[in-house]
Amino acid sequence: MNSPMNKKHVLVIGDIMLDKYHYGSSSRRSPEADVPVLDLNETRSGAGGAANVALCLAHLDLNVSLIGIIGKDHNGTELKNLLQNNSNFIDINLIEDPDRPTTTKTRIISDQKHLLRIDKENKNEITETQQSIILDHLIEGHKSDTYQAVILQDYDKGIFSESLIEKILNFCQKRGVKTLIDPKHKNFFSYQSPTLFKPNLNELGVALNKNLNTHSVEDITKELSKLKAKIQASFYLITMSSNGILLHHEGKTLYQKAHQIQNPDVCGAGDAVLAAASKALIDNLSIEQMLKLCNRAGYLSCLEVGVHPEALKKMTKKTPSLYEDIKIKYV
């Protein structure tokens, strides 16, 4: 493995969260209410959201820094410990806010099927002081160890304002740092001229006020012209769950079907795809290679229930791609 100083460095800024999983089996109904009873077998926790993107990057053998907000609570401490136990990180900057809880998603899973998800969060926008701290971390971090790319992972949990987005992108663009965006609904059109813009099909449809789930690949490609006029990115990467993935760059649109999985779990798949796209951009891969890498990352992420960034370790092995037999379609 390369020494940390020889690796390429990516900064992830975004909404981080703690993912909790309660696994068990359910074969009976509660006598108290018409709901299933879970016989609990296992409980585990993982780092989710922007933290999962960072972990995916670390498992792709990149140096990673992370900036995010946590609460001053037990879940925040657990999340911090999970991240600090990963030796691939150079720098973890978790800003503690005593007035908000650590964003936590608790999933109840019975026999590999999700029964329920419980969310604990505060979606209010972070303070101007906290936004300034984030900018300071970005500026100082870039001075000490130049970033090849900065990822903005937006889950509408409050870390991004229009002003902060603009300042981050301006800083990166002036210094030639690649920027990759995973948008949500609130700030969708606030991300101007990034290197790569990666909405999923549902997010794109909401932004364009259209139900794109029934559209053909050719029709979705036509809709990209509206997005390009507003965002002006260099790359557009559209994830379409089990229907595959679409990549557009400089007038060329590529599509590849997804590798079919029985009962896939899509938790964290978008994070894995974004990490793979970062790796491809930094390594100057062709758009065909980028598409295959992203598709494989999504596949590996969906094989197990829950978020498993360590699955991307398989991406660094010199083995034939699972997607060599799935043809790329030029739309």
Active site residues: 271
Q: Is the dihedral angle over the CA atoms 48, 53, 57, 60 positive or is it negative?
A: positive
Measured torsion, CA atoms of residues 199, 200, 203, 206, in degrees rounded to the nearest 10:
120
Which two structure tokens, joined as six digits, stand for 274? 């974004």
Strand partners, 328: 256
Single out the residue of 134, 124, 248 nearest to residue 198, CA to CA.
248
Strand partners, 291: none
| Residues 106 and 46 sit within 8 Å (Cβ to Cβ) | no
- CB-side exposure of 123: number of CA atoms within 13 Å? 7
Amino acid at 202: N
| Residues 245 and 294 sit within 8 Å (Cβ to Cβ) | yes
CA distances from 292 to 54, 85, 214, 283 (A): 20, 31, 24, 14
Name the 3-class secondary structure at 144. Answer: helix
Chain centroid, CA 2 distance in Å: 25
d(CA 176, CA 172): 6
List, as one string, the DSSP characters of 165-177.
HHHHHHHHHHTT-
d(CA 260, CA 242): 7
Single out the residue of 12, 17, 22, 15 nearest to residue 306, CA to CA.
22
